[in-house]
Amino acid sequence: MASTSHVRWEGTVAEGKGHIETGTGTVDADYTAAGRFGDGGGTNPEELMAASHAACFSMALTLILENGGHKPESVDTDAKVYLKKDGEGFTIHKIDLATVGTVPGIDEAAFVEAAETAKAVCPVSKALAGVGEITLEAKLAG
């Protein structure tokens, strides 16, 4: 299995712009340096990374819960990706994941344990192993 995207960038970093399209066509978005470092329009790589990580984690958590006999009604996950100046360039140094599940018949401790496992086995988490810190806050709704 392989997923694809195409990106085109035009112009300088400061004044230019780019366009991102995924192979499925579900993401079709502009991006700029201003959108990455300020108040400009469009998306940015870190926002897309946050979305990717939250989506992958949520699916992994749902599968783990299902395999444990608990069918979730919902899993809501927020991800925050931190970018900082690092010498000549920038680095992603931290990602915060926060998830809230509505899962009948499970207690908080079992949900948190499932979430920790999901964080460890999610393919995007594995790909981001070089990030200095990935935090997780997990709780049941209500």
Q: Read off the pLDDT of residues 92-138 as tens digits, 9 standing for 90 and up.
A: 999 999 999 999 999 999 999 999 999 999 999 999 999 999 999 99
- In the prediction, which pLDDT does 139 show? 98
Over the Cα atoms of the chain, what is R_g? Answer: 17
CA 21 to mean position of chain CA atoms: 18
- pTM value is 0.93
List the structure tokens of 88.
Answer: 């000549």
- In the prediction, which pLDDT does 79 show? 98
Q: What is the mean pLDDT of the chain?
A: 95
CA 138 to mean position of chain CA atoms: 15
- In the prediction, which pLDDT does 81 show? 97
Residues 27-37 have a mean pLDDT of 89
- In the prediction, which pLDDT does 38 show? 77
Is 140 strand, coil or helix?
strand
Which of the four pLDDT bands, split at 50, 70 and 90, describes residue 12? very high
- In the prediction, which pLDDT does 14 show? 87
Give the Cα separation of 26 and 28 in Å (integer): 6
- In the prediction, which pLDDT does 126 show? 97
